[in-house]
Amino acid sequence: MNDFIIINEKNPMTENGYRNGVSKNGHSNGSIKVDKVNGANGNGAIELERPIVIASPRPAAAPKEQRAQLSGVGVVGLGYWGPNWVRNLHQSQAAKRIVACDLDQKRRTHVSELYSDLETTSRFEDLLNDDEIEGIVVATPVGTHYAMAKRALEAGKSVLVEKPLATSSEEASDLVKTAREKKLTLMVGHTFEYSAPVLKMHDIIASGEIGDVFYISSVRANLGLFQRDVNVTWDLATHDISIILNLMGGREPEAVSCQGESHYGHGVEDVAMLTLRFERNVIAFIHVSWLDPDKIRRTTVVGSRKMLVYDDTAPQEKIRIYDKGVTAQKYYDTFGEFQFSYRYGDIQIPRIEEKEPLFCECEHFVKCIKNGETPNTDGVNGARVVNVLEAANYSLRRGGLMVPLGAALR
Ligand SMILES: NC(=O)c1ccc[n+]([C@@H]2O[C@H](COP(=O)([O-])OP(=O)(O)OC[C@H]3O[C@@H](n4cnc5c(N)ncnc54)[C@H](O)[C@@H]3O)[C@@H](O)[C@H]2O)c1
């Protein structure tokens, strides 16, 4: 059963994010009434092109499945992000052997000191030539993704490429084609598509509870980490695009525009604003920045019936469903009679069982290799995000021109 906590607007939150009378574990201490009600229902669902799993009562915990395990797995790139892969592969016992590769001796030493049974190498070829290695995680800089993934697939290895899949739609579709020809798993590291709040939002929207989606607004801003080889759209907006396409049930935008600016030289934009136009007047805005005083990770979805806010920086209660809306009077004779009525209803906080998204992604990668299943974030999913990024960057070079998706961008 999906429980929600409902907060009545008359009893606002305290500054520390908790309501008076509600303890941090969500239980009422009696001074203010907090209702626990059953999960969402809804009608008037938006039409989605892909079959969607509707939020339903969770089944009782099943007996633990035997974990899939590979004979060997490789990780290339042990900079900022790669060690998180090593940790999750290790913790999930994904493979009998984990071989980690980086050109930099210091990075190899750093990870091998953490895990005594980890093998390391400076040569990518060692991963490619190792018959026991079934899958390789590519966590090197974005500009190297295509070449490394291509070599790995050609060597007969399944591949997980960190986001974004590649730096052009041409490269992305070539990787999809190569993986198909070789009958290998190609997955992209769209981590947020494995996070519980995003999956929850997807289910809420698909259930029709918030009505038709009017617009989505997403902000991903903080101070740093500046990248050298790609701008802030390829670095940060990749996450928002993958989240938005997921929430839209895989529906792609019809056109994209982007404006941005570089303030620290090399022409690498550190701040950008993207607009994605979908059919039926749905619009999405993405603001990304490496130059912001605050860390903001916030996605708002405004629907015809309700509104949804996802704040990934919140320690808990990351999603809120606002029963707020506007109704325009259908018939009126004079402008004086024309008016809107505003609805200020309850706020629901769905209960979410959080698990580290990368751990889920890691288990999914291993399972897909073992069972030959298509990953949720497969090469096609990765290529869709690259198509949007490519169109956005074409627009960026042209002062924010609205670019139809799928147009030849040469
Ligand atoms: N999914 C997420 O949430 C998430 C978060 C951060 C970064 N990333 C992605 O992870 C990737 C790596 O990002 P990062 O911030 O860790 O970069 P980084 O620059 O910190 O690390 C890259 C590492 O790759 C190594 N490397 C480069 N070329 C190599 C080669 N040919 N052979 C072996 N090693 C090589 C470098 O020595 C370096 O240690 C990027 O694609 C980035 O977009 C994903």
The pLDDT assigned to 66 comes to: 61
Query: Quick check: 202 pLDDT over 90?
Result: yes
Query: Quick check: 99 pLDDT over 60?
Result: yes
The pLDDT assigned to 391 comes to: 97
The pLDDT assigned to 328 comes to: 76
Q: Which residues contact 48 (CB under 8 A, 6 or more apart)?
A: 206, 248, 249, 250, 251
Residue 275 lies in a domain: no
pLDDT tens digits, residue range 23-38? 333 333 322 222 332 3
Mean pLDDT calculated for residue range 237-266: 95
The pLDDT assigned to 326 comes to: 86
Query: Quick check: 399 pLDDT over 50?
Result: yes
Query: Quick check: 174 pLDDT over 70?
Result: yes
pLDDT band at 331 (very low <50, low <70, confident <90, very high): confident
Query: Quick check: 183 pLDDT over 50?
Result: yes
Rounded Cα gap, residues 75 and 98, in angstroms: 8
Which of 151, 162, 365 has most ligand 1 atoms within 8 Å of CB, for mutation? 162
Which of 85, 87, 124, 140 has most ligand 1 atoms within 8 Å of CB, for mutation? 140
Query: Quick check: 8 pLDDT over 70?
Result: no
* Residue 166: CATH number of its domain: 3.40.50.720
The pLDDT assigned to 51 comes to: 34
Mean pLDDT calculated for residue range 188-213: 97
Ligand 1 atom closest to Cα of residue 144: 28
Residue 104 lies in a domain: yes
Query: Quick check: 6 pLDDT over 90?
Result: no
**Strands 340-350 and 186-189, sheet pairing:** unpaired
High-pLDDT (> 90) share of the chain, %: 73
Q: Going by CA atoms, what residue is nearest to atom 43 of ligand 1?
A: 163
Burial 206-229 (b: 16+ CB within 10 A, else e): bbbbbbbbeebbbbbbbeeeebee
Residue 177 lies in a domain: yes
Mean pLDDT calculated for residue range 314-337: 83
- The rounded Å distance from CA 118 to ligand 1 centre is 19
- The rounded Å distance from CA 253 to ligand 1 centre is 29
Residue 281 lies in a domain: no
Rounded Cα gap, residues 354 and 406, in angstroms: 36
Output 149 or 38, whichever has higher pLDDT.
Answer: 149
Query: Quick check: 165 pLDDT over 70?
Result: yes
167 C-beta closer than 6 A to ligand 1: no
Q: Which residues contact 120 (CB under 8 A, 6 or more apart)?
A: 99, 100, 101, 102, 108, 111, 112
Mean pLDDT calculated for residue range 302-326: 95
Give the domain range for residue 167: 70-190+358-378
Q: Going by CA atoms, what residue is nearest to atom 21 of ligand 1?
A: 79
* Token duo for residue 227: 């990248």
Query: Quick check: 177 pLDDT over 50?
Result: yes
Count of domains observed in the chain = 1
Residue 159 lies in a domain: yes
pLDDT tens digits, residue range 9-25? 333 333 332 233 333 33
DSSP bridge pairs for 120: 100
The pLDDT assigned to 410 comes to: 59
Query: Quick check: 249 pLDDT over 90?
Result: yes
Ligand 1 atom closest to Cα of residue 225: 15
Q: Going by CA atoms, what residue is nearest to atom 25 of ligand 1?
A: 77
Query: Quick check: 216 pLDDT over 50?
Result: yes
Residue 167 lies in a domain: yes
Output 37 or 121, whichever has higher pLDDT.
Answer: 121
Q: What is the DSSP string of 194-229?
A: GSHHHHHHHHHHHTTTT-SEEEEEEEEEEE-PPPSS
pLDDT band at 266 (very low <50, low <70, confident <90, very high): confident
pLDDT band at 342 (very low <50, low <70, confident <90, very high): confident
The highest-confidence range among 35-39, 42-46, 316-320, 334-338, by mean pLDDT, is 316-320
Ligand 1 atom closest to Cα of residue 163: 43
Q: HEC string of 59-128?
A: CCCCCCCCCCCEEEEEEECCCCCHHHHHHHHHHCCCEEEEEEECCCHHHHHHHHHHCCCCEEECCHHHHH
377 C-beta closer than 6 A to ligand 1: no
Mean pLDDT calculated for residue range 3-7: 46
The pLDDT assigned to 330 comes to: 72
Mean pLDDT calculated for residue range 95-116: 97
Query: Quick check: 109 pLDDT over 70?
Result: yes
Residue 30 lies in a domain: no
pLDDT band at 106 (very low <50, low <70, confident <90, very high): very high
User: Which of 403, 142, 386, 382 minimizes the C-alpha distance to 258?
Assistant: 403
Mean pLDDT calculated for residue range 334-357: 86
High-pLDDT (> 70) share of the chain, %: 81
Residue 205 lies in a domain: no
The pLDDT assigned to 57 comes to: 38
Average pLDDT, the chain: 85
